[in-house]
Amino acid sequence: MKRIATISPVWGCSVEDLRALAREAEGAGFEAIFSPEVPPYSAIANAQVFAEVTSKIKVGTWITNIYMRQPVICAAEALTVQEVSGGRMVLGLGVSHKPVNDRFGIDMGDPIEEMRKYVTAVRSFADRSSPLLTIKRQLPRLPMYTAVLTEKAAELAGEVADGIMPYMATPDHIKKLINAVKSGTEKARRSLSDIDITDGIPSFISDDLGAARTAAKRGLSGYGRFPFYQRLIKNLGFSDVVEKIKFGVNPAEAFTDELIDAVAMVGPAERCRKRLEEYREAGVQLPIIVPNPVGKQSNIEVMRKTVETFKD
């Protein structure tokens, strides 16, 4: 089976739902299932829920906010999941967004440099090289991936991380990010083959293309209010969409069919599978399918539709 992963939702998801979603993904042969992090839901805690009901699938975070935990506690929690899972944990790290962090009184500083320091610190605790902590547990190496929307962030990942986790990228943007990762690996005297190229791809599967696009505009509209994603959308060639949003247009109304088709997989299953292959051809090694409902569907129903569409 080609490499493929997925995520769970968090809002409206009970622990029993998380268990069921993990079992569905493992049964389909998916390589990994990741949890987003939306306070008060913890991605690391959810990864442990996944680990406890599965035996083969990788579990992890997509993506945990570095400002919400001291590096030593992040390492401690992630290592617990690594032990529970028998070495299946993948720690995805990100900086979240200024509006989110402002709400909790967090000063982000320089997000790139904060990420560099954080990854370095967590790795030092996880690999027992830090003089500040003694870890006596013998555990497999903890892989750490970082969220990247820009080439600058991708270059940093090439220097310090084990993988990248973009979202809402186009295949052309993925190529730019990979080039930036390569620059980072060269700086650090590493190889591009050391870095796992993932990409979170939203999916809205329905035989009704119009309904799928409408659901995508509604489902992705929240990102249109975040400055980091506004910059991404501009970089993808949709500056007019961002200008409308800044002028006061609801993102769900400002998002166009062209933008949705560029950043997501929408419509009939075959159309979505074809789009997935375009991402693979652009260099995505591990597509991370981000399932979304079209119409009234439970989280489990959406996951089953995703499995049905994308498993080999």
- CATH code for the domain in which residue 11 is found: 3.20.20.30
Give the chain's domain count.
1
Residues in the chain: 312
- Please check whether residue 214 lies inside any domain of the structure: no
- Please check whether residue 87 lies inside any domain of the structure: yes
User: Does the global pTM surpass 0.85?
Assistant: yes
Q: Answer yes or no: are the C-beta atoms of 28 and 304 closer than 8 Å.
A: no
In order of 53, 112, 180, 213, the CA distances from 149 in angstroms are 32, 12, 11, 23
- Please check whether residue 180 lies inside any domain of the structure: yes
For residues 218 and 225, give the distance between their C-alpha atoms in angstroms, rounded to a whole number: 13
Q: pLDDT in tens for each of the 312 residues of the chain?
A: 899 999 999 888 999 999 999 999 999 999 999 999 998 899 999 999 999 999 999 999 999 999 999 999 999 999 999 999 999 999 999 999 988 899 999 999 999 999 999 999 999 999 988 888 777 777 899 999 999 999 999 999 999 999 999 999 999 999 999 999 999 999 999 999 999 999 999 999 999 999 999 999 999 999 999 999 999 999 999 999 999 999 999 999 999 999 999 999 999 999 999 999 999 999 999 999 999 999 999 999 999 999 999 987
- The range of the structural domain enclosing residue 25 comes to 5-208+262-310
- Please check whether residue 13 lies inside any domain of the structure: yes
In order of 38, 261, 307, the CA distances from 41 in angstroms are 5, 30, 24
Q: Answer yes or no: are the C-beta atoms of 283 and 176 closer than 8 Å.
A: no
- Please check whether residue 225 lies inside any domain of the structure: no
Q: Answer yes or no: are the C-beta atoms of 204 and 224 closer than 8 Å.
A: no
- Please check whether residue 249 lies inside any domain of the structure: no
- Please check whether residue 257 lies inside any domain of the structure: no
CB atoms within 10 A of CB 283: 16
- Please check whether residue 89 lies inside any domain of the structure: yes
